Amino acid sequence: VSILVFVFDVSRGGAEQFAEDLHTLETAVSALRSHSPNAKLFILLHKYDLLNGGSDVWAKGREAEIKKAALPTLSHLYCTSIWDESLY
């Protein structure tokens, strides 16, 4: 694998869904480190715009957990919008 794009749908579910998605990310990162140590990891926080006013709260807690699970493999983390093709 050269590149892995992992997508978190931030509007889906609550804490339980996030924990499940984070576990899946940790498993994927572990496999990347073992089998493709030079791979780049891109994480998309999809539908970030739907968090309304709570995006700052979500960002401080969840993004830190995601980065901790993904480092040092993480190349970039982007927030995306459902409204257009551009990055949020």
Report the distance separating Cα 88 and Cα 82, nearest Å: 9
Report the distance separating Cα 74 and Cα 16, nearest Å: 23
**Neighbour count for residue 45 (Cβ, 10 Å):** 21
Whole-number pLDDT of residue 81:
78
Whole-number pLDDT of residue 67:
87
pTM of the shown model? 0.80
Q: What is the pLDDT of residues 32-88, one digit of tens each?
A: 999 999 999 999 888 877 776 555 666 667 888 888 889 888 889 888 877 755 554
Least confident piece of the model among 1-5, 10-14, 73-77: 10-14
Whole-number pLDDT of residue 85:
59
